[in-house]
Chains A and B, each alone.
Chain A
Amino acid sequence: MILTEESTNQIREKASQYPQRKSAILPALTIAYRQVGHLNDDIYKEISRVIRVPHVEVAEAATFYTLFPKQPVGKYLIQVCHNISCALLGADSLVAYLEQKLGIKKGETTPDKLFTLVTVECLGSCATAPMMQINQDYYENLTREKVDGILEELKAKA
């Protein structure tokens, strides 16, 4: 079993709220993602057993949604918005700066498995651009100085 008892109970509880159990697929994927950090077919199978919908239906839905990484990522998943409002204020140079600081390219994970760097579409933080999301949190109005501080803090916490 990959899912903990706590996650399983949360999923079961969520599924009981909906008029149709299949509606619990996305919430279940979210709960599993928060626990594991990514999703895979074994997780789809476990979810399918918990909410009692066919495995293929869970996999079918899961593969549509880009929020959930489908393979393991670093402890900190850095998602830089590169859509228009952020791009106008330097999202590309922010990505380049992060690549240089972390010593990896976009799409890669640091050898110590601490950071994965990716770009994503608009995160609804347009008036506080440029921005990035790291795991659950938004970091906004970014400057080089702020980025340095954030990375230091995360490294210290890890």
Chain B
Amino acid sequence: MFYSPVITNATEAVSNDRLHLLRYAEDPDQHKIETYEAHGGYVAWKKAMNGMSPEAVIEEVKKSGLRGRGGAGFPAGVKWGFVPKDSPKPRYLICNADESEPGTCKDRVIMERDPHAVIEGMAIAAYAVGCHLMFIYIRGEFNHCIGRMETANEEAYAKGYLGKNIHGSGYDLEMIVHTGGGAYICGEETALLNSLEGERGMTRIRPPFPAIEGLYACPTIVNNVETLVSVPHIINRGGDWYRSMGTEKSTGTKIFSLSGHVKRPGNYEVEMGFSLKKLIYDPAYGDGILGGKKLKGVIPGGASTPLLTPDMIEVKLDYESLAEVGSMLGSGAVIVFHEETCIVWVIQRLIHFFRHESCGKCTPCREGTGWLEQIIRRIEQGLGKPGDIETIEEICGNILGRTICPLGDAAVMPIQSAIKHWREEWQYHIDHKKCQVKSNYEFR
């Protein structure tokens, strides 16, 4: 049977019960409902629907300080509180499992290895906002996640955790496993809504926000997989327990997907505020740079976050600390590259991606990402012209903050940071028509 080969720090989590997201990730039977129950699964769901009012659930999650793990970091409980109490329309809950921010591979591991945790988190969130039909939108490439979630869904129905009159509570809750079509933009919540309605995955102008007018123009809550998986633990152990972890404003734990030029790439769950340096160099985590080479840069939160230089890696991994050094926590995808990496080449990869994934709805992003890619590719190929850096900066300035959704900003911010930190290297590439560094990206 399928088992993804990602390194996790699940073993550490077994002895450190504060870590809860990946705790049973290395148990090969965790995806089965019996094993999930034996590990304390669905206790929180029973507790919520039988003993707590929806308001009490929202209060507990607000108290926990849990913030959205998809990238925006908005407090989950506050978001749930936006759903209008008096609306006669049905309410919907959607688990955003369209994980596709380059560098991010955490939701995939959660869904493959602990699918019932996702269902339990979704069920509690659905109950909190008065929803009776919930969806999980999984990216279409994740065939094994889809299979695991579908099986888990059937098991949850069979055991009465989903369906009509759940465990005699009088509460009805149905769930649909929905699959996407390979579009990064559908991870943006309004594009996801359009996609789920059978439209092209293009973004919507906000307001109205989905909590007021979302799926089928009804109040809708969209939360990331990792956010929802934290919820059962908050219900079981309380919001105060949750906020005893992490920092004052970035509470709890977070999974960081570590990739690139490190010796031990993998998914590591740590408390918010963990040291980036430790994540990269500690033998229990990244174990340092491949081949003992020198670190050149880090993309700390997925392909859309500003890059960091080696002198910035003392930073703590939480929303506020990363913002202080001019970057973002994003989805927690830490991408590391060493000294034998050309910065123009890195950025060319990223802008190619954003151009490919721009939905084309707004002009600055649709046209701008194309122009940027052309110029950056030209420089990378040794055909750069004097003034190219200034042109790139001007285009970036005309995209930033001028698009409907954050994809435009996401495309621009890494470029701006790369020019800020490595401007000389860009200039060298243009002047000498080649990379300043000797690079080698051979696979073994």
Are A and B interaction partners? yes
Interface residues of A (CB under 8 A from B): 17-20, 22-27, 29-30, 53, 57, 60-61, 64-68, 82-85, 87-94, 97, 120-130, 133, 136-138, 140-144
B184 close to chain A: CB less than 8 A: yes
By the criterion CB–CB under 8 Å, are B7 and A127 in contact? yes
Pick from B105, B108, B144, B198: contact of A25, CB below 8 A. B198
CA distance A142 to B108 in the complex (A): 19
- Residues of B404-444 contacting chain A, CB below 8 A: 441-444
- Evaluate contact between A19 and B102: CB separation under 8 angstroms: no
A84, B103: Cβ atoms under 8 Å?
Answer: yes
Separation in Å of the A29 CB from the closest CB of chain B? 7
Do A124 and B196 form a contact, CB below 8 Å, given A29-B181, A66-B183, A88-B341?
A: no
Contact of A126 with B333 in the complex, beta carbons under 8 Å: yes
Q: Could you tell me the distance between the alpha carbons of A19 and B257 in the complex, rounded to whole angstroms?
A: 36
B residues bordering A, Cβ < 8 Å? Answer: 4-7, 90, 99-105, 107-108, 133, 139-144, 176, 178-184, 195-202, 216, 257-261, 265-267, 299, 303, 333, 335, 337, 341, 346, 349-350, 353, 356-357, 359, 441-444
> Given A121-B357, A127-B258, are A89 and B200 also a contact pair (CB < 8 Å)?
no
Q: Is the CB of B259 within 8 A of A85?
A: yes
Closest to A88 in B: B260
Instruction: Verify B4–A138 contact, CB threshold 8 A.
Output: yes
Determine whether the beta carbon of A84 is less than 8 Å from that of B176: no
Contacts of A136 in B (CB 8 A): 143
Cβ contact of A142, chosen from B107, B143, B266, B443, cutoff 8 A: B443
The 9 listed contacts between A and B (C-beta, < 8 Å) are: A17-B176, A26-B140, A26-B198, A64-B202, A67-B141, A82-B349, A93-B443, A124-B105, A133-B141
Could you say which of B140, B176, B216, B259 contacts A30, with CB atoms under 8 Å apart?
B140
Interface hub of A17, A26, A68 (most chain B Cβ within 10 A): A26
Roughly how many angstroms separate A17 CA and B133 CA in the complex, as a whole number? 10
B4 and A140 contact, CB distance less than 8 A: yes
Contacts of B143 in A (CB 8 A): 136-137
CA distance A80 to B330 in the complex (A): 25
Output the least CB separation between B353 and chain A (Å). Answer: 5
The answer to whether A127 touches B6 (Cβ under 8 A) is yes
- Judge whether B356 and A121 touch: CB under 8 Å: yes
By the criterion CB–CB under 8 Å, are A144 and B216 in contact?
no
Provided the pairs A26-B179, A26-B195 are in contact, do residues A126 and B100 lie with their beta carbons within 8 angstroms? no
For residue A68, which residues in chain B have a CB less than 8 angstroms away from its CB? 181-182
Residues in B whose Cβ lies below 8 Å from that of A22: 197-199
Chain B residue numbers with a CB within 8 Å of A124 are: 99-100, 104-105, 107-108, 139, 141-142
Contact B260 A85 (CB under 8 A): yes
B178 touches A27 (CB 8 A): yes
Residues of the A chain whose Cβ atoms lie less than 8 Å from the Cβ of B359:
64
How far, in angstroms, from A57 to B200 measured CA to CA in the complex?
9
Q: How far, in angstroms, from A136 to B337 measured CA to CA in the complex? A: 30
B294: min CB distance to chain A, Å: 15
Contact A64 B201 (CB under 8 A): yes
In the complex, the answer to whether A97 meets B443 with C-beta atoms within 8 Å is: yes
With contact pairs A83-B349, A126-B335 given, residues A64 and B105 touching in the complex (Cβ less than 8 Å): no
Within 8 Å CB of A24, what residues of B?
A: 198
A23-B197, A26-B181 known; A84 and B4 CB under 8 Å? no
Which chain A residues lie closer than 8 Å to B444 at the CB level? 90, 143-144
A17, A20, A94: the one within 8 Å of B443 (CB): A94
CB distance from B306 to the nearest CB of A (A): 14
Measured CA separation A30–B201 after assembly (Å): 16
What residues on A are CB-neighbors of B178 within 8 Å?
23, 26-27
Contact B103 A126 (CB under 8 A): yes
Which B residues touch A97, using CB under 8 A?
Answer: 443
Identify B201's interface contact among A65, A88, A94, CB under 8 A. Answer: A65
In the bound complex, residues from chain B placing their C-beta under 8 Å from that of A19 are 90, 133, 216
Tell me how far the C-beta of A7 lies from the nearest C-beta in chain B, rounded to whole angstroms: 15
> For residue A88, which residues in chain B have a CB less than 8 angstroms away from its CB?
259-261, 335, 337, 341, 441
User: Which residue of chain A has its CB nearest to the CB of B303?
Assistant: A84
- Our pick among B140, B142, B198, B260 for the contact of A53 (Cβ within 8 Å) is B198
3 A-B pairs with the lowest CB-CB distances in the bound complex, closest first = A65-B181, A90-B443, A67-B182
Min distance, Cβ A143 to any Cβ of chain B, angstroms: 4
**CB-defined contacts of A144 to chain B, threshold 8 Å:** 443-444
Chain A residue nearest to B99 (CB atoms) is A124
